Structures are given as structure tokens and as C-alpha cells.
Amino acid sequence: MEENQTPKYQFAFMKQLNLLILVYIGIVTMCSVKGIIRDQNARSFLNSAGKLPLSYTDTFVLGIGYYICLLLLLTFRSKNGWQLAGKIVLEILVGISICNAVHFGYAGVMLLIMADGMQYIQNMRRRVFAIIAICVIYLLVDANLISVIYPIVSLKTMWMYYDHQAVVLLSAVLTFLNALNLFVFIYYMVEMILNQMSEKKRILSLNEELAQKNEQLLIQARQLEAATQTKERNRLAREIHDTLGHALTGIITGLDACMMLLDIDPAAAKAQLSVIADVARNGMKDVRRSINALRPDALEKTMLKDALVQMITETEKTTGAVISFDCNTGLNGFTQDEEDTIYRIVQESMTNSIRHGKATEIRIRIGRDYNLLTISITDNGIGCQNVQKGFGLHHMQERLQLLGGQLSYHGENGFMIEAQIPIRWGEEKADD
């Protein structure tokens, strides 16, 4: 979606228009004062003015000079609150100086300052405050109001060199330019509001689209998990069928033969039983190989604690997450099932923290409380107020239940998982 450039062009036009108005006022005023001096009507002019005016060139020079300073301030961009406030205050002071230079006959530069502030102030409360403050200043820098408390020389007095009809025409031109500036400002504010409404609508639409995509991804993830479970069950079924099925078939067939030979030829039956024993042993080996294939390779090569450290280090390298590991108890003496469960809980918790929780920091603690081994994993992720147990949590809970353990979790201020496993070996092994 392309950004609407209309407010940008309107703001640029306002800057050019205000420069034109100030040049117009400065030239008309300078020519008038020079004509008064040339015609030697200074006494009449001073009597009408009521105070000593500025030099005939000051209106032009000071007005344009201050406006150049304002343009420089308008180019300064900042999102810092204090810098932005200081910028607007300086712009207002320079704007008042411009109004003073043109004898408070024109205050349109205050609208330009307001338009500039609306580009940077996003907070609605601050925006309303800034609008009110600048509007009050815009209304107060009027020649009629200022003359009540501060003696000024009005533009009408400065233009007394011209005849009445000329003054009316010059004033009409100034009024038109002022009205044009006001119209462009109102148009600019309307476009700004419409742009913000359009941007808000676009963001809401993107959020809805993102929510739909997330829902689709969640459905696909669940389908993938279900397919993975089915695939794993089928694979295990094949493994059991290929290993135990073959062995048990041979054993059953051999036993049937032994029953027939037992009374006829005991020696042959004994030899057949020896063959059956070999088949059973080979079948047991095949089953063990199948089970070992389901075990983490790291646990086959190293001790449990070293395997955990290795897995954590590899996860840090591949994901960039900062993971702290604090283990204040020994991890020797566990059975194979217990080691597998501890390893898988830490592995699955880290995976969930990074994949689902978008965590960048993970803290893992393993400690012993009398006859319980406690595993605590916390992260700084997005958390989840309403935790729905997926395959990972369900699988962890199933593993713990087989060992008589418990699983607890919550998703406030990140995510936390705590697993407790009963320790079935002696106290002396805990400190190995």
C-alpha cells in the first residue's frame, strides 16, 4: 500500500505560501515607508503611528530572516519527547518574532507550526494539548488584541502612503492569501486524519490476516503432529513385527516340534530346545537394538549431565538463545528410562521456548529435594495465559507418569515447566 503523499505536498505548499505572504508584506511596507520619507510626510506618519516604528527595511529583513530560521527548525526531525517539545517551543517563539516583524498583521505562520507538530506528535492527548496551545497563540497574535496591552504600528498605518482604494486592494490581496493559507491548513489536517484512519484500518486488516495465517499454521502443525505420531506408531509396529514376530514364530514352531519329539526322541528334543534358546537370544538382541534406536544418541556415548551440556551448547549455537544450566546434584545412578525422560524433558522444553515462546533467554535448573529430582525450565518468551496441552506437553506427562512423577506449568511472565521425578537410588549416589 503506497503512502498518501498529499499532506507532504500541502505542507510544502504552505511553506512557499507563507514565504510569499511575508515577502509581499515586507515589500509593500518598505515601499510605503520610503514613499512617506520621500514625500516628507514623516511628521504626519509619526503622529498616526503613536510610537517610533522600525526602520523601513526591518519589516522585510527581519520577517524573511526569522522565517528562514523557522524553515531550518522545520527540517529538524526527532522522536525524542523532550527534543520534540523543545523544537515546537522554539518554533513558536520564532513564529511570534515573525508576527512582531510584520506588525502582527499576519499570523499564518502559527498554522504552519501547528501542521509541522502534527507530523511528529502521535499521542492523542499531547496532540490535543499542542493544538489548543498553538490555536490560543494564533488568536492572541492579532493586531487589535496586541494593541490593547502593547503599542504597535499597524499595517494600515504603515501603508498610509497609498490612497484609500490602493490600501483596500492591498488589504484584500493579503486577506485572500491569508484565507488561502487557512484553507490549505484545514485541507492538510483533514488529509492527516484520513491517513491515520486508513493506516489504522490497514494495521487491523494485517492483524486479522496474521491471526488467520497463525490459525492455519496451528492447524497444519497439529496435523503434522498427528501424522508424525501415526508414522511413529506404524514404525514401532513394524519393528515389533519384524523382530518379535519372527523370533516368536520360530520359538512356537520349535516348541511344537519338541512336544512331538519329547516322547519319541528325547535327545533330538533337547537339541531342538537348544536351537529354540538361540532363536530367543537372537530375538532379544533384535528387540534391544530396536529399543536402543529410539534412545538419544548422546546418551549412548556420554553420561547424562555431559549429554545435557552438549545439547544445551548446540542449541545455543544454532538458535542464538542464551541458556543457563544450573545442576546442583549428581545425575548418576538413574535407569535408562529415567535418563531418557530427563533428557527429553529438557530438550522438548527448550524447543517449545524457542519455537512457540520466541524466547531469547532460558534458565534450566536441576536439583534434589530429599527423594525428588526437580527439573525447572523458565524463559523470557511471550508466555501463554491459556495453555493448551499439545503433543510435547502430553508426551512429557506420559513419560513422567510411567516413572511416578508429576508435571506442572504456567505461562505468565514467560513460560515455566517443572517436572518432579522420584529418586529410587540411595542418597550416596546423589552426590556422585
pLDDT digits (tens, 9 = 90+) for 243-275: 565 456 557 666 777 787 777 877 777 777 777
3-state secondary structure of 270: helix
pLDDT score of 176 more than 80: yes
Between CA 251 and CA 262, with CA 256 as vertex, the angle to 5 degrees is 115
Look at residue 19 in the predicted model and tell me its pLDDT: 92
3-state secondary structure of 183: helix
Residues 399, 341: contact at Cβ < 8 Å? Answer: yes
Residues 416, 410: contact at Cβ < 8 Å? Answer: yes
pLDDT score of 432 more than 50: no
Rounded (10°) angle between helices 336-355 and 304-319: 10
3-state secondary structure of 343: helix
Q: What is the mean pLDDT of residues 157-185?
A: 86
Question: pLDDT for 219-236, tens place per residue?
Answer: 888 888 878 777 766 556
pLDDT score of 49 more than 80: no
Which of the listed ranges 26-35, 281-290, 357-366 does the model predict with the highest average pLDDT?
357-366
At 347, the amino acid letter reads: Q
More confident residue, 400 or 388: 400
Take residue 294 and report the three cell numbers written for it. Answer: 529410539
More confident residue, 240 or 107: 107
Rounded (10°) angle between helices 6-38 and 164-240: 160
Look at residue 229 in the predicted model and tell me its pLDDT: 74
1 — pLDDT class (breaks 50, 70, 90): very low
Q: What is the mean pLDDT of residues 395-419?
A: 85
As a whole number of angstroms, the distance between CA 8 and CA 28 comes to: 31
Q: What is the mean pLDDT of residues 208-212?
A: 88
Look at residue 396 in the predicted model and tell me its pLDDT: 81
As a whole number of angstroms, the distance between CA 7 and CA 189 comes to: 8
Which of the listed ranges 46-50, 124-128, 137-141, 238-242 does the model predict with the highest average pLDDT?
137-141
What mean pLDDT value characterizes the chain?
78
As a dihedral over the C-alpha atoms of residue 127, residue 130, residue 133, residue 137, rounded to 10 degrees, the angle is: -120
Single pTM value for the model: 0.46
Q: What is the mean pLDDT of residues 394-400?
A: 80
Look at residue 40 in the predicted model and tell me its pLDDT: 66
pLDDT score of 127 more than 60: yes
Q: Is the dihedral of CA 131, 134, 135, 136 positive or negative?
A: positive
Look at residue 191 in the predicted model and tell me its pLDDT: 84
As a dihedral over the C-alpha atoms of residue 167, residue 169, residue 170, residue 173, rounded to 10 degrees, the angle is: 150
Could you tell me whether strands 406-410 and 372-379 are parallel, antiparallel, or unpaired per DSSP bridges? unpaired
238 — pLDDT class (breaks 50, 70, 90): low
| b (16+ CB within 10 A) / e for 326-364 | ebebebebbeeebbbbbbebbbbbbebbbebbebeebbb
Look at residue 239 in the predicted model and tell me its pLDDT: 54
For 105-155, where are the E strands, in sequence order? none
More confident residue, 93 or 43: 93
Look at residue 431 in the predicted model and tell me its pLDDT: 45
Question: pLDDT for 292-326, tens place per residue?
Answer: 555 565 666 778 888 889 888 877 776 677 889 99
Look at residue 36 in the predicted model and tell me its pLDDT: 74
User: What counts of helices (H) and strands (E) characterise the chain?
Assistant: 16, 5
Look at residue 104 in the predicted model and tell me its pLDDT: 82
As a dihedral over the C-alpha atoms of residue 319, residue 320, residue 321, residue 322, rounded to 10 degrees, the angle is: 140
Look at residue 285 in the predicted model and tell me its pLDDT: 65
How many Cβ atoms are within 10 Å of 140's Cβ, its own excluded? 14
Q: What is the mean pLDDT of residues 105-118?
A: 83
As a whole number of angstroms, the distance between CA 428 and CA 136 comes to: 82
